[in-house]
Amino acid sequence: MSYEVTERNKVKRVPQRAHYDKETLFQILDAGFLCHVGFVVDGQPFVIPTIYGREENKIYLHGATTSRMIANLKKGIPVSLTVTHVDGLVLARSAFHHSMNYRSAVVFGTAREVEDDQKEQALFVVSENIMKGRWDEVRKPNQKELKATTVLSVEIDQASSKIRTGPPKDETEDYELDIWAGVVPLNVVAQSPIDDNDLKDGLSPSKIITRYSI
């Protein structure tokens, strides 16, 4: 299934890299946990980085009940959300044709506040999106913590994905230049866990943590 393509979500720059199907979009969203949320308040645009979780066609965001982003988004104003993975630096023979290999997603929708009886499940989705299985290892939020937290659900109304892969594309005459060209792959790698200074003696990271990879 694909999202409807309109002027709002149509990819205009290098359109052959565009994807509008849900499968591609969900793969890009599920491969990350950090997004940037764009919205406008009184004519002033804001872009806020925050973590997220996806469940079917919904994206969950959360934050303090007093935060500007949460306070405004729960009013139902339009929101745009972006996720980007940079997979490599594309180094061409010319400065003009340098590029990146990437997977990106742009989502459009509106947010609604998640009801209290569904809040913990939504937070579970966010937690699982960051580190699967960690939720079952820790103390769950108490009522005071849940009350201080607002969870929003953004139904994905429209979206587009854009992907670039492969080597640089130079001008024909530049292939004769004595200049190295190619791709420097990039990857975010989880390193060894570091103990909290106040950790009780005898405690070690679980397999969920030691085997974690992004």
For the segment 171-188, what is each residue's pLDDT rounded down to a tens digit? Answer: 999 999 999 999 999 999
213 has pLDDT over 90:
no
Give the separation between CA 136 and CA 128, rounded to whole angstroms.
10
Q: Where residue 34 falls among pLDDT bands split at 50, 70, 90?
A: very high
- Per residue in 82-114, pLDDT tens? 999 999 999 999 999 999 999 999 999 999 999
Strands (E), the chain: 18-19, 34-41, 44-51, 53-55, 58-64, 78-91, 99-113, 149-164, 182-185
Query: CB count, 10 Å around CB of 208?
Result: 14
Q: Is the pLDDT of residue 59 over 90?
A: yes
Q: Once rounded to an integer, what is the mean pLDDT over residues 30-41?
A: 97
Asked if residue 200 has pLDDT above 90, the reply is yes
Q: Which of 157, 20, 25, 14 is nearest to 99 (CA)?
A: 14
User: With bands split at pLDDT 50, 70 and 90, how would you rate the model's confidence at 71?
Assistant: very high
Amino acid sitting at position 35: C
Instruction: pLDDT band for 14, please (50, 70, 90 cuts).
Output: very high
When pLDDT is averaged across residues 116-128 and rounded to a whole number, the result is 96
Once rounded to an integer, what is the mean pLDDT over residues 186-194? 94
Question: Which of the four pLDDT bands, split at 50, 70 and 90, describes residue 151?
Answer: very high
What is the model's pLDDT at position 155? 96
Domains plus CATH for the chain? 15-170+180-187 (2.30.110.10)
Provide the pLDDT confidence category of residue 74 given band limits of 50, 70 and 90: very high
Report which residue type is found at 120.
Answer: E
Assign 33 a pLDDT band (cuts: 50, 70, 90): very high
Answer whether residue 214 shows pLDDT above 90: no
Average predicted confidence (pLDDT) for the chain: 96
DSSP 166: S
